[in-house]
Amino acid sequence: MTGGGGEVPEARAAVASTDAHPNGAAPDAAQSPDPRVPFVRGFAERTPKSSPKHDGRALRDRVPRSAHAELPADTARPDPVTAVQQSNEGRLPDLVPIRVGRMAAGPFAFLRGSAGLMAHDLARTPVTGIGTQICGDAHAANFGLYADARGGLVIDLNDFDETAHGPWEWDVKRLATSLVLAGREAGAAEDACRQAAFDAAGAYRHTMRLLAKLPALDAWNAIADEELVSHTDAHDLLGTLERVSEKARKNTSGRYAAKSTEPVDGGGRRFVDSPPVLRRVPDAEAAAVAASLGDWTETLSEEFLPLMARHAIQDVAFRVVGTGSVGNRSYVVLLLDHRGEPLVLQVKEARPSVLVPHLPLAGFPTPEVTHEGRRVVLGQKRMQIVSDILLGWTQVGGRPFQVRQFRNRKGSVDPADLGADQLDDYGRMTGALLARAHAHSVDPLLVAGYCGKNDSLDAAIAEFAVAYADRTEADHAALVTAVRGGLVEAEMGV
């Protein structure tokens, strides 16, 4: 395979986008053998011309599974400090030092904030050309618990700011690399870190094979969360998951409102300043955010409109969130129902996915995006088993935003706090969840055919993960040096 910025390898375009047809075939080319039952766009052919499993297996001739270990040198690669500074463009300047400070906290944190830099590198690695809806930022801390419509807890991917149609390998490699970095931060032995990456790739492969053997409808809803621990043999993680679940059940709008708001004369509540994380905004800004929720309701399913009609908007505040998202415009909106019970919404700026500039080099077209918030919401719904019923999008001051529930019984495992015996369990669990998410928009037979029965792919992904973790540590060290030298401003510990 070629490295650097040269010609795109033939394998990058080996399989067409699967958006048009589950087996990658162009719908217009499909013919029905029975004129009484014509081919209908959006459905599979009655007599497929080839087997997706065979097509996937054939791709190994162009892209051997061992090739995924490659981390090509790239002389044109951006300096990591320059890459961080470029990723800060368009963000609120007064919050940029907080973002830099959070990224400088450690190599794992640096990885979390540098999805664009990793996409640059991944675009120069081998890919099969099999496309699916990818998270784009599938590191180990972007999996977590949240509530479904009836208050039950679901575990799944939970951050989709960078989602796009792209190579499935990119998500798997980012997950595996993050596990190595998290393990190193936790003090795990190098063998344990590599094993976690190996196990994550193995669980992804095993799960794709499992889904490929099921009827399509069963595969779509497979691996219920109560079966996830057994499916991934993650029993050492049970205690941690139970503790996280218990905290998540208490992590509600009511609890957040009790801590972050105060009553006002005449009834109602308002947010209390807690800079720099939470701050009140000027009246005109608050009014613009509140008014945008009218457009947001038009993106919801109609059955939820009576629910929103029972809530009144009380207040708007600005709230800093995440690591990679710091500096984006992000608001919390307080609503109260007729009993005075709170519901808090997050209205978060949706910037273009950092993957987009790098997709063409990997053989994927630049996506046409009409609204970045819509892109995020639809990507999330395509990947999750259950999504927030209030997911939607709007715009404020001409900028696109996504809207979702805030503190919807959310909880997460910090992979950097896990012991070595739990890290590989967590790797298997997240690898399985990632496969389930990908299988919603790509035929699992196609991916399973390529991945195969043996662990060749697992070993290659683990080798890549260790090498890229080394690269990330060097990138992080360069950022820390720039901060200490006064070349980049950082606010630490916020």
Mean pLDDT of 161-181: 98
How far apart (Å, rounded) are the C-alpha atoms in residues 430 and 101?
27
The encoded tokens of residue 261 equal 């708001």
Helical spans, DSSP H, in 74-167: 80-87, 96-103, 107-113, 115-122
Q: Is 420 helix (H, G, I), strand (E, B) or coil?
A: helix
Q: Which residue has the higher pLDDT, 95 or 6?
A: 95
Cα 394 to its chain centre, rounded Å, is 20
Q: Which residues pair with 134 in a beta bridge?
A: 164
Q: What is the mean pLDDT of the chain?
A: 91
How far apart (Å, rounded) are the C-alpha atoms in residues 386 and 409?
14
325 pLDDT more than 60: yes
Mean pLDDT of 44-49: 82
20 pLDDT more than 80: no
Amino acid making up residue 415? P
Residue 229 banded pLDDT, cuts 50, 70, 90: confident
Mean pLDDT of 186-191: 96
Q: What is the pLDDT of residues 47-98, one digit of tens each?
A: 778 899 999 999 999 999 999 999 988 788 999 999 999 999 999 999 999 9
The encoded tokens of residue 381 equal 């719904």
Mean pLDDT of 134-140: 98
pLDDT at position 149 is 85
Q: What is the pLDDT of residues 329-383, one digit of tens each?
A: 999 999 999 999 999 999 999 999 999 999 999 999 999 999 999 999 999 999 9
User: Dihedral sign, CA of 283, 285, 291, 293?
Assistant: negative
Q: Which residue has the higher pLDDT, 36 or 9?
A: 36
Q: Is 316 helix (H, G, I), strand (E, B) or coil?
A: strand
Mean pLDDT of 97-124: 97
Cis peptide before 276 (omega within 30 of 0): yes
22 pLDDT more than 50: no
As to burial, measured by CB atoms within 10 angstroms (0-12 exposed, 13-18 middle, 19+ buried), residue 457 is: buried
pLDDT at position 33 is 61
Residue 27 banded pLDDT, cuts 50, 70, 90: very low
Residue 32 banded pLDDT, cuts 50, 70, 90: low
Mean pLDDT of 1-13: 40
Residue 408 banded pLDDT, cuts 50, 70, 90: confident
Residue 324 banded pLDDT, cuts 50, 70, 90: confident
B/e letters for 346-359, b = 16+ CB within 10 Å, e = fewer, are bbbbbbbbbbbebb
pLDDT at position 265 is 92
The encoded tokens of residue 269 equal 């509540």
Return the minimum-mean-pLDDT range out of 10-19, 235-244, 256-265.
10-19
12 pLDDT more than 60: no
Residue 39 banded pLDDT, cuts 50, 70, 90: confident
Q: Is 133 helix (H, G, I), strand (E, B) or coil?
A: strand
Q: What is the pLDDT of residues 439-494, one digit of tens each?
A: 999 999 999 999 999 999 999 999 999 999 999 999 999 999 999 999 999 999 88
Mean pLDDT of 310-317: 98
pLDDT at position 126 is 97
CA-based nearest residue to 332, from 351, 350, 313, 319: 319
pLDDT at position 23 is 40
pLDDT at position 129 is 97
0.85 surpassed by pTM: yes
Q: Which residue has the higher pLDDT, 452 or 26?
A: 452
